[in-house]
């Protein structure tokens, strides 16, 4: 049967009827807005509303929506060279691989270009298993690494129930959450060294002697914008070295200037064995990368590494990636993220001083987390409170993402584009202030 032609723009009620009739629901409920277009830090709805997009799309539009240089690159490249047989190479692909290596410390020099974060983590885990000859993988208990098989098996924040067995040999370790410490020192602060030691005591007890890799985010995003304490990642790296494991860092959301440095791992003085990039690399287009050393790549090649996908090394999105690097460099967006991040943090601190429901502020650069609580003393969380605040902010013109995990629904994720302005940040803080005032009055 032939496909029908697209329907003319319909009334909102008819639009939602059609959506309900024909779309598979794949996560949380759809935001009840029809989005017509977007530009910069704003999206525009069918009913004429303007909404500040402080999720950067799916935490990806690091340069804002429809950045003119991205638009120009897509228009020019799609008319010249868009897609190739996966065994063919083009100049944008080699240029991007070389330029990524130039942004990274040695020995990270070899790049595989893919499409999504899940795909890049899948490839990284496949490579680690092949090179080490082992299969076991360690990740954080609130991790999110994607929805494909190996990535989903290393994801513990959601989506594990009802799908049958995960890949064998996957282990979770506790998240070093300083705001909610589970193992403490005498003064009540997180004893992360003891926590890490105990975690690996359990890993060693369960392992069959086949530990291949540890896959983590340097700042957990879906897990609640949780940043491991200084020194933690280096100590984790040492645990990996002791066991012959590779350290894989997933910088889907933290890479490419969002945290105020090009890569979040720079703070810790640790160079991963394998780095995965996605969301921010394509600035909203489907582009991801696996970056590793020449030594690991050579070993993988000699062992027959296979990751031959339909859109590996596609020239169109590679050209976009080169433009993203151009804009990040020329506009010094790492410095801008640091400066705007300080401004945002000061604004959030002001909200905390006025509203008792603000329990914790965390994050780095323009990746911020705001945890709401019913009681600062007990740190009692409330998914309902987080949902109420998120819903009212959207009504007032601010879209922020709430962590969609049971018991973590009071954490707001704030990640505006790096091109956002002081005025837009001020407007967002004003909306959040009004929302918290109204919400606190109802508690």
The rounded distance, in Å, linking the Cα atoms of 325 and 184 is: 42
- Whether the per-residue pLDDT at 8 is higher than 70: the answer is no
* Distance in Å from the first CA to the final CA of the chain: 56
Q: Based on the domain organization, do 320 and 338 belong to the same domain?
A: no
Q: Based on the domain organization, do 312 and 338 belong to the same domain?
A: no
The rounded distance, in Å, linking the Cα atoms of 334 and 428 is: 21
Q: Based on the domain organization, do 38 and 111 belong to the same domain?
A: no
The DSSP 8-state label assigned to residue 219 in this structure reads S
- Which residue among the candidates 279, 336, 362, 364 is catalytic per the annotation? 279
Q: What is the mean pLDDT of residues 209-230?
A: 97
* Cα separation values, 372 from 71, 74, 175, 341, 400, Å: 38, 41, 19, 20, 14
Domain range for 117 is: 82-176+208-328
Q: Is 217 a catalytic residue?
A: yes
Residue 410 has a CB neighbour count (10 Å cut-off) of 26
Q: Based on the domain organization, do 171 and 279 belong to the same domain?
A: yes
Q: Based on the domain organization, do 276 and 370 belong to the same domain?
A: no
Q: Is residue 401 part of a domain?
A: yes
Phi-psi region of 217 (alpha: psi -120 to 50; beta: other; left: phi over 0): beta
The DSSP 8-state label assigned to residue 186 in this structure reads T
Q: Is 262 a catalytic residue?
A: no
Task: Give the pLDDT score at 1.
Answer: 64
pLDDT confidence tier of residue 231, bands split at 50, 70 and 90 = very high
Q: Is 16 a catalytic residue?
A: no
Q: Based on the domain organization, do 133 and 252 belong to the same domain?
A: yes
Token readout for 410 is 């009071």
Q: Is 75 a catalytic residue?
A: no
Q: Is residue 142 part of a domain?
A: yes
Q: Is residue 25 part of a domain?
A: no
- Dihedral sign for Cα 244, 245, 246, 251, please: negative
User: Taking the model in full, what pTM does it have?
Assistant: 0.96
- Whether the per-residue pLDDT at 407 is higher than 90: the answer is no
Q: Based on the domain organization, do 381 and 238 belong to the same domain?
A: no
- pLDDT, tens only, 275-290: 999 999 999 999 999 9
Query: Do 160 and 143 contact (CB within 8 A), yes or no?
Result: no
Strand 211-216 and strand 246-250: the pairing is parallel
Task: Give the pLDDT score at 442.
Answer: 86
- pLDDT, tens only, 378-401: 999 888 899 999 999 999 999 998
Grouping H, G, I as helix, E, B as strand and the rest as coil, residue 414 is: strand
pLDDT confidence tier of residue 181, bands split at 50, 70 and 90 = very high
User: How far is it between the farthest Cα atoms of the chain?
Assistant: 71
Q: Based on the domain organization, do 399 and 420 belong to the same domain?
A: yes
The rounded distance, in Å, linking the Cα atoms of 252 and 238 is: 23
Q: Based on the domain organization, do 435 and 320 belong to the same domain?
A: no
Task: Give the pLDDT score at 343.
Answer: 98
Q: Is 413 a catalytic residue?
A: yes
Query: Do 275 and 249 contact (CB within 8 A), yes or no?
Result: yes
Nearest to 282 by CA among 39, 54, 60: 60
- pLDDT, tens only, 333-363: 999 999 999 999 999 999 999 999 999 999 9
Q: Based on the domain organization, do 103 and 238 belong to the same domain?
A: yes
Nearest to 397 by CA among 47, 33, 34, 51: 51
**Of 294, 311, 328, which residue sits at a domain end?**
328
Q: Is residue 288 part of a domain?
A: yes
**Of 294, 328, 362, which residue sits at a domain end?**
328
Grouping H, G, I as helix, E, B as strand and the rest as coil, residue 299 is: helix
- pLDDT, tens only, 234-262: 999 999 999 999 999 999 999 999 999 99
> Structurally, how many domains does the chain consist of?
2
Token readout for 156 is 């513990």
The rounded distance, in Å, linking the Cα atoms of 151 and 140 is: 12
- Whether the per-residue pLDDT at 50 is higher than 90: the answer is yes
Token readout for 105 is 């410390």
Token readout for 374 is 């019913």
The rounded distance, in Å, linking the Cα atoms of 152 and 129 is: 16
Query: Do 418 and 343 contact (CB within 8 A), yes or no?
Result: no
Question: What CATH number has the domain bearing residue 318?
Answer: 3.40.640.10
**Of 309, 328, 347, which residue sits at a domain end?**
328
The rounded distance, in Å, linking the Cα atoms of 148 and 278 is: 15
Helix (H) or strand (E) holding 213: strand 211-216
Q: Is residue 127 part of a domain?
A: yes
Q: Based on the domain organization, do 55 and 100 belong to the same domain?
A: no
Beta-strand (E) ranges in 75-131? 108-114
Token readout for 186 is 């005498």
Q: Is residue 365 part of a domain?
A: yes
- Which residue among the candidates 42, 77, 195, 253 is catalytic per the annotation? 253
The rounded distance, in Å, linking the Cα atoms of 250 and 423 is: 32
Q: Is residue 188 part of a domain?
A: no
Task: Give the pLDDT score at 402.
Answer: 79
Q: Is 332 a catalytic residue?
A: no
- Which residue among the candidates 42, 119, 142, 144 is catalytic per the annotation? 144
Task: Give the pLDDT score at 5.
Answer: 63
Average pLDDT, the chain: 95
Task: Give the pLDDT score at 408.
Answer: 67
Return the half-sphere exposure (C-beta side, CA atoms, 13 A cut-off) of residue 358: 19
Helices (H) and strands (E) in the chain, counts: 14, 16
Q: Is residue 136 part of a domain?
A: yes
Query: Do 289 and 64 contact (CB within 8 A), yes or no?
Result: no
- Which residue among the candidates 53, 119, 191, 217 is catalytic per the annotation? 217
- Dihedral sign for Cα 105, 110, 115, 120, please: negative
- Which residue among the candidates 136, 250, 251, 297 is catalytic per the annotation? 250
Burial class (CB within 10 angstroms; exposed 0-12, middle 13-18, buried 19+) of 101: middle
Q: Based on the domain organization, do 268 and 336 belong to the same domain?
A: no
């Amino acid at each position: 049967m032939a496909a029908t032609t697209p329907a003319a723009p319909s009334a909102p009620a008819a639009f939602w009827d059609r959506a309900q009739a024909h779309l598979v629901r794949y996560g949380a409920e759809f935001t009840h807005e029809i989005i017509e277009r977007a530009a910069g830090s704003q999206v525009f709805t069918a009913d004429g509303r303007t909404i500040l997009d402080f999720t950067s799309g799916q935490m990806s539009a690091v340069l804002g929506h429809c950045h003119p240089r991205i638009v120009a690159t897509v228009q020019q490249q799609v008319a010249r060279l868009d897609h190739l047989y996966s065994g063919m190479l083009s100049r944008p692909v080699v240029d991007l691989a070389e330029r990524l290596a130039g942004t990274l410390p040695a020995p990270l020099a070899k790049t595989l270009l893919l499409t999504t974060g899940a795909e890049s983590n899948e490839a990284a885990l496949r490579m680690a298993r092949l090179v080490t000859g082992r299969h076991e993988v360690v990740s954080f208990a609130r991790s999110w690494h994607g929805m494909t098989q190996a990535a989903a098996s290393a994801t513990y924040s959601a989506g594990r129930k009802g799908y049958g067995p995960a890949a064998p040999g996957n282990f979770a370790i506790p998240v070093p959450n300083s705001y909610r410490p589970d193992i403490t020192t005498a003064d009540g602060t997180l004893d992360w060294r003891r926590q890490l030691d105990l975690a690996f005591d359990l890993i060693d007890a369960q392992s069959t002697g086949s530990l291949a890799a540890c896959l983590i985010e340097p700042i957990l995003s879906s897990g609640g914008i949780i940043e491991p304490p200084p020194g933690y990642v280096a100590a984790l790296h040492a645990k990996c070295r002791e066991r012959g494991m590779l350290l894989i860092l997933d910088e889907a959301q933290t890479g490419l200037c969002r945290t105020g440095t090009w890569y979040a791992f720079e703070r810790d003085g640790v160079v991963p064995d394998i780095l995965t990039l996605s969301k921010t690399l394509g600035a909203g287009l489907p582009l991801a990368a696996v970056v590793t050393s020449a030594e690991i790549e050579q070993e993988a090649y000699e062992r027959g590494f296979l990751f031959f996908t339909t859109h590996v090394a596609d020239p169109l999105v590679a050209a976009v990636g080169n433009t993203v690097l151009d804009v990040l460099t020329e506009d010094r967006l790492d410095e801008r993220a640091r400066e705007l991040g300080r401004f945002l943090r000061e604004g959030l601190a002001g909200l905390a001083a006025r509203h008792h429901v603000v329990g914790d502020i965390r994050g780095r650069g323009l990746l911020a987390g705001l945890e709401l609580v019913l009681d600062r003393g007990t740190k009692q969380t409330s998914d309902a409170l987080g949902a109420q605040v998120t819903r009212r902010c959207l009504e007032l013109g601010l879209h922020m993402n709430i962590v969609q995990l049971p018991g973590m629904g009071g954490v707001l994720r704030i990640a505006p584009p790096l091109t956002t302005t002081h005025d837009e940040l001020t407007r967002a803080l004003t909306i959040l202030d009004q929302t918290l005032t109204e919400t606190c009055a109802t508690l």
